[in-house]
Each structure stands twice: as C-alpha cells, then as structure tokens.
Amino acid sequence: MPILIPIDDPDDPRIAAYRDVRERDLVGRDGHFIAEGAVVVRSLVMASGHRARSLLLADKRVTALEPLLAKLPADTPVYAAGQAVLDRIVGFPLHRGILALGERAPQPSAADLLAAMPARARVVMLFGIGNHDNLGGIYRNAAAFGADGVILDSGCCDPLYRKAIRVSVGATLLVPTARLTAGEDPLALLDALGFEGVALSPSGAETLARMVPPPRAALLFGSEGPGLPPALLARARSVRIPMAGDFDSLNVATTSGIVLHHCAADQDAPR
C-alpha cells in the first residue's frame, strides 16, 4: 500500500497537476487526464493500459478508500489533504473527495484494434459525437453489453475528458478504443478486416427488431442532429428503429443501448 503524503498548502508544487481542474479541462493535459470519484478511480486502477500517476484525496475518505489504495503499486504517490485545502486546490467543492491523475495508454490503430477481436465481435463506431454526455453514455452501454471496442472518427470528442469518464461510470477507461486517421475509409477498413458495418439511421432500410447481426458487427452511430455522413450511409447496410407518430427523436446514447441490447440478446439466443 502506498504511503500517504500530507498536503497542507494548496500551492504545493507536488499537486500542481490537480490545480484549477475546470480551467485545465479546457486547456488539455498533454497525455494526461483526471479521473474523479471512487468508482471511476477504481476503473483506472483496473484498466489494462492507462496508469494512475498519482491520487489526491480528502483525509476523511482515507479509511473507506483503503481497499482501493491497496491495489495501487506501492510507489504511486497518494496525496491527502483536508477538505478545505482540497477544494482550494481543485477550485470547486470536491464532494467526491478523490481524484487521480491518469497517464494515457498509447492507442492502437483502428486496424490493429479490429484485427485483434474474436470471430464473433461487436464494435461501436462513432461519427461526430461531440457531446461528452452522449459519448460517456454510449461507452457505458458498450461496457454493459460487452462490446469489444469503440472506434471514433476525428469529429468525436475526447473519451478521457473528465465529464465523459464520469458519465460513462469509468467505462471510457476500460473499453478498448481507437481513432480513425484523417482520410481513412471506415467501410473499406471494416471490409478488409471481416467486419460488416450496420448504420443506424431514421431512414434505415431494415428495422432493428428483425435485424440478425453479422458475426463481426460494426455498429455505426452519428450525432443527433446531422446523423451519419450521407456518403457513408449510402454505402452501408442501414437499420432504423421505428418510432411512434411524428415524435421522431431518440437520444443517441439511448439508441446505442437499444442496438447493443438487441445484438447481445441475439448472441445469447440458441441457434
């Protein structure tokens, strides 16, 4: 178990990375990220690639958090401060009482991520999801339904942004992730690696409930307003979720949950 390092001065240089968390969220952290709350920090400690570089927590939480601290490498610095000092460091009342500074794992290429997946696999592929709540919600569903990975296009926001991690309940730290490079053709990539793309769209040709997922399925989602890029949609197998009357609107994270549940239930069904 790491040794606790007491912090009494909010300006202590050892905890500089935790200062003014919200302002730093906007600027970025150059290969690092902040995980917030015990559940999320536990995901970071369990994650295979990312690494907890240090922790900062409230004195009064230490006893309750001991089982978690015991899982850390013994040389991980764990800083402990009184609540008032903690709040001054981070710049807002830190009710959750625990933060970790994470170091990003190197990301595989989309091709490498797909190639490493089993013969029956489901990957979520996202286009232009720029909202951290939606991105976090999609990852939460991907983890809940055992998706093998998530691939992001260049228009998606950062899954390791503090709010996205929190909304995902830590899933963005656990689900294998890759990002398409500029100009990479997602459907050609899927085809080369034996995946079939299934594009979700209100104008999809098949209904989801009758869709038998391919063995290696890539489930494609676009952002709520514009949806998937038309050029992509025109070339992919497309699926819709029928809706009532003229209320033609589902949240994209909810949509991903419905689709992933359908695919998981199909995989569990007897053949």
Interface with its own copies includes 270 (CB under 8 A)? no
Interface with its own copies includes 258 (CB under 8 A)? yes
From the CA atom positions of the chain, what is the Rg in Å? 21
Give the closest residue to 215 by CA, choosing from 122, 153, 99. 122
- d(CA 63, CA 34) in angstroms, rounded, equals 22
Interface with its own copies includes 247 (CB under 8 A)? yes
214 neighbors 186 (Cβ within 8 angstroms): no
Q: Would you say 115 or 265 has its CB closer to its own copies?
A: 265
- Smallest gap from Cβ 23 to its own copies, in A, equals 21
218 neighbors 232 (Cβ within 8 angstroms): no
Write the binding mask 165 to 204 for its own copies: x where contact by CB under 8 A, - elsewhere. Answer: ----x-x--x------------------------------
Interface with its own copies includes 145 (CB under 8 A)? yes
Residue 136: both structure tokens together: 């976090």
Binding residue (CB under 8 A) for its own copies from 209, 212, 231, 234? 209
User: Hey, is 215 helix, strand or coil?
Assistant: coil
Give the closest residue to 196 by CA, choosing from 120, 140, 142, 258. 120
Sign for the pseudo-dihedral over CA of 195, 267, 109, 36 = positive
Going across the sheet that includes 121-127, the strands are 177-179, 149-152, 121-127, 216-222, 196-200, 237-240, 206-207
Interface with its own copies includes 249 (CB under 8 A)? yes
Residue 258: both structure tokens together: 């419905």
Interface with its own copies includes 132 (CB under 8 A)? no
- d(CA 135, CA 157) in angstroms, rounded, equals 8
Site size toward its own copies, by CB under 8 A:
33
Write the binding mask 212 to 241 for its own copies: x where contact by CB under 8 A, - elsewhere. Answer: -----------------------------x
- d(CA 226, CA 204) in angstroms, rounded, equals 15
User: Which region among 47-55, 88-96, 139-147, 184-192 touches its own copies (by CB under 8 A)?
Assistant: 139-147
Binding residue (CB under 8 A) for its own copies from 144, 155, 163, 184? 144
Binding residue (CB under 8 A) for its own copies from 27, 30, 244, 271? 244
98 neighbors 193 (Cβ within 8 angstroms): no
Binding residue (CB under 8 A) for its own copies from 83, 107, 109, 254? 254
Interface with its own copies includes 70 (CB under 8 A)? no
Binding site for its own copies (CB under 8 A): 137, 140-141, 143-146, 169, 171, 174, 207-209, 241-245, 247-251, 253-255, 257-258, 261, 264-265, 268-269
